[in-house]
Amino acid sequence: MTRRTSGPLLRLLACALLYTGSLSLAGCVHATRSTIIHHYDLGSVVAAAGNHHEVDRTGKVLQVDSIATPAWLAGTAMHYRLLYRDNRRVAAYAQSDWISPPATLLEPVLRSAIAAGSGWRAVLGPRDPAQADTRLHIRLDDFSQVFSEPGDSAGVVDATATLIDNHDDHVIAQRHFHVEIAAPSPNAAGGVAALAKASRELATQLQDWLR
């Protein structure tokens, strides 16, 4: 009994034959394009740092906790919302994602900006063993591309920052931040650009608030 070979498999076999014959693979891109996943981050941490100010060396030591997130932001999916259809529905791009969860990408951006000049003698990460006077807890509630219309979208970052005294655990101050930056294009790449810019803006606002 003869088995029929499916169309996609035939195309893959053809590509393999072209490769072994040292011919161009340009014609094979279309056959495998559906399997390509684009991975993104937020760009250079150095470039994302906020305004630089002289650090007060007599200040206290701040520890920045790991950023807390709801379950839907815990993975690497790149999320978007279509507000013009249903603002309660969150979807994810099929062929684009983050190289790490959004909170993991955001942490060094914020910590770099705070260390650049918020008046702290030192800024520690969540796993640094040194003793800190104060700690900063951040909850990330939204990190997505929001479409108000099919061709009009923005990168939205919602976060709540809480400053806590490590000596008695009392809350020193708390503030909610909402940053919304227009996306240059209504697709995943545009969402990445907008969210990267929104992350840097959040870092600057957080730096100013702490100072």
Alpha-helical runs (H) found in 35-129:
45-48, 102-115
Q: Give the sign of the dihedral formed by CA 122, CA 127, CA 128, CA 130.
A: positive
Question: pLDDT of 108-164, one tens digit each?
Answer: 999 999 988 767 889 999 988 889 999 999 999 999 999 999 999 999 999 999 999
**Do the Cβ atoms of 209 and 190 come closer than 8 Å?**
no
Q: Where are the domains positioned within the chain?
A: 1-36, 38-210
Distance CA 139, CA 150 (A): 29
Residue 13: pLDDT band (50, 70, 90) is very low
CATH code of the domain occupying 38-210: 3.40.50.10610
Q: C-alpha distances in angstroms, 43 versus 17, 115, 124, 146? A: 39, 18, 22, 21
Q: What is the pLDDT of residues 50-61, one digit of tens each?
A: 455 555 555 789
Alpha helices in 49-141 (DSSP H): 102-115
Q: Are strands 91-98 and 77-82 parallel, antiparallel or unpaired?
A: antiparallel
How far is it, in rounded angstroms, from Cα 138 to Cα 66? Answer: 8
What's the pTM value of the predicted model, to 2 decimals?
0.78
